[in-house]
Each structure stands twice: as structure tokens, then as C-alpha cells.
Homo-oligomer: A and B are copies of this chain.
Amino acid sequence: MTHTNQIVIDKVRKSRIDSTDFDNLTFGKTFSDHMLECTWKNGSWGDVEIKPYGPIMVEPSCKVFHYGQAIFEGMKAFKDDQDDVFLFRPADNWIRFNASAKRLAMPEVPEEIFMDGLKKLVELDKDWVRKGDGQSLYLRPFMIASENGVAAAPSTEYKFMVVMSPARAYYRGEVRVVIATSYSRAADGGVGYAKAAGNYAASFYPNNLALEEGFQQIIWTDAASHEYLEEAGTMNIFVRIGDKLLTSPHNDRILNGVTRRSVIQLAKDMGIEVEERRVSINEINEAARAGELKEMFGSGTAAVIVPIKGYKHLEFVHELPTMEHSYAERFKKELNDIQYNRTEDPHQWRVKI
């Protein structure tokens, strides 16, 4: 018996868009008119419901509150000058979502639910995607355990949902980082490569310590030795030593970023030498001392590319030089040009809604 999951749409009676101040948005605080909800029960997914954004009722014994089965994705929709709306490599997010689901013992979400549902939802709320550089609609697909019960075992019920939030640039101000030397984000054989909710909660306290010291982010290193570069809280990390670009290979501790993957491809397209390999903090410090460390930057959907102005590692504090035509700038411009349909798209990354 094959069952086709229908998309059932219940529209808002009155849009909230006119009362939304798009010039003064706090990231992730304002939501578009509609959301998507789909329930997994008795081994299968039900219909996709698109309905007004609003609260849900959950019992306090709902398993997500106790055992943390919760995963998410972060994506963006962009609008070009002709009012066409595009997603950026959405299939990559769908595939990663299901890799996260598998590792957290949650059911995978079929393409027609994730992708067709998402497209329908964006189409319905397309007025929430604003034109102009830095403007986008941030899409947040997520899944939570929804069975009630406080026994430590995988949930038998799940909710897949999508909410959407109009966004401008994510980071403001200059970013300086602390390189982790005692706390860590993920274990070998753990869930670091998954976009699991618990990974983020685990990073907040060490990040608060960095903030107290006057740094905005932590760069994680491997838990076993703290000798190798891994990633930041919500970004992958690149360093430019001389004219070469370096980034950590992805492994079971690191989120394999869509932006990271795109930067690596763009670098190759631009003829920039790029190496995916273990990068030791020692190598970075040496390069810094020798004046060879030209750039550090983070890559991620929310922030796109974030230049890192300086870092601290144990007692060593280093300020990065200001580069003309920096790689960071070039990647950011190229990525944005592709995302906003202002240039060719040789790798078919844009998906028109």
C-alpha cells in the first residue's frame, strides 16, 4: 500500500506582514505567517499541514524535553530583482537532515515532505522574502520527539516542522575568537556531525566564558588533544596561510557545512589552492608569528562568511591583518551573487521556487 502524503493548507485570515518592521529585525525573533507540521506515528508520516504560525500543545512529559531527540536545519530563501525566489542547495540540507535523524534514532523525512512542503510554504509566504543585499527568509526545518513518557528510550512519535524568519545579516561588529583548550563540543564516535540540538546547548557555557573575556566565539579543537582546528559554534572555519586556503576535513565531530562545501568549490573555480586536511593550532600560530597568516573566516548559512579579526590561544593573542581583496570578501560576494541570481550558476546551486 503506497500512501501519498497530501499537503493540507490552512491560510491565515490576515497576514502580519504589514506590522513587521523589516528594517529592525532581531535574528530569529519574527516569524512569517505560516508554518509546516507533519507527524510521524505508527511507523509512518501523515499529511503535511501548512497552517498559521502559532503555539503547539505539548505535555511536560514530551520526550524532547527529557531526552533531547531534536535536530534542525538552517537554510535561506533569496529574492532577485524580478521577484523570483530561490533556495540555495536545498537538497544538501535535506540529506544532512536525514543523516542527523539517523544518528539521533529518529525517522528520516522523505524528499516529498521536506522539499515539496518547504517549497509550498515559501511560495505561500513569498512576500516575507525581501529584496536587497543581506535580506533573506531564514528557513528552519526541525524535528522533535513528541511521544509522552519519561523512560529513556527513543520516541515512538515525532513532529517535523518548518518555521521561517525574515533575516538580515547575522553578525554585527568585529569577531574575535578564543581557540578551545579545555572544553569541547563533540566526541569521536559522537553526534558532532549531526545538527543535534544538544550540541548547541553544550557550547553555550564555554562560549559565555569567551564572551566574558571579550571574544565573540569559540573555535573548537579536537576533544582528545585540543591540537587541531575543528569548527565554530555555527560556522566552519577557514584559514589562509600565504595564498593557500586550509580547512579541517569533515569527520564525525564536525558539521559538514553547505557553505563550507561551496567555498571549497568556489576556491577551486577561482584557482585558489585549497587543502582539506588536519590543521594544527601550532601551524596557525607559527604562520601568525611569521606574518603568513593572512585570513581566518567562518562560513555558515546564517552568517554566510564572517571574517575573524583576531584570536587568542592560551597566552598567545594575535590580530589578523586587514587584506585588500580578501578571500573572505571574494567568497561572500560570489556566494551572494549566486544566491540573489546576479550571476551565472555553473554548479546549479540555485533552486527556483
Contact = CB atoms under 8 A, between A and B. Distances in A.
Contacts of A189: 180, 182-184, 223, 226
B140 A150 contact: yes
Interface stretch (A59-67, A84-92, A329-337): A59-67
A351 interface: no
A285 interface: no
B60 A163 contact: yes
Nearest to A208: B105
Interface stretch (A23-31, A114-122, A309-317): A23-31
A161 B142 CA distance: 24
A228 to B, nearest CB: 14
Nearest to A69: B201
Count copies of this chain in the complex. Answer: 2
Interface stretch (A8-16, A41-49, A190-198, A339-347): A190-198
A1 interface: no
A328 interface: no
B184 A190 contact: yes
Contacts of A183: 189-190
Contacts of A234: 152
Contacts of A59: 54-56
A224 B188 contact: yes
A200 B31 contact: no
Contacts of A67: 197, 200-201, 204
Interface in A2-41: 26-29, 31, 35, 37
A150 B67 CA distance: 20
Interface centre among A55, A161, A197, by most chain B C-beta atoms within 10 angstroms, is A197
26 contacts: A26-B149, A26-B151, A28-B61, A55-B59, A60-B142, A60-B161, A60-B163, A65-B197, A66-B142, A66-B200, A67-B197, A67-B201, A68-B196, A68-B202, A69-B201, A103-B205, A105-B205, A105-B207, A105-B208, A152-B233, A180-B189, A186-B190, A189-B223, A189-B226, A190-B223, A198-B198
Given A53-B60, A67-B200, 19 more contacts: A26-B151, A27-B150, A28-B150, A35-B60, A55-B57, A56-B57, A57-B57, A61-B140, A68-B68, A70-B201, A104-B201, A105-B201, A138-B150, A180-B189, A183-B190, A184-B188, A186-B187, A198-B199, A198-B201
Interface of A: 26-29, 31, 35, 37, 53-61, 64-70, 72, 102-105, 138, 140, 142, 144-145, 148-154, 161, 163, 165, 180, 182-191, 196-202, 204-205, 207-208, 223-224, 226, 233-234
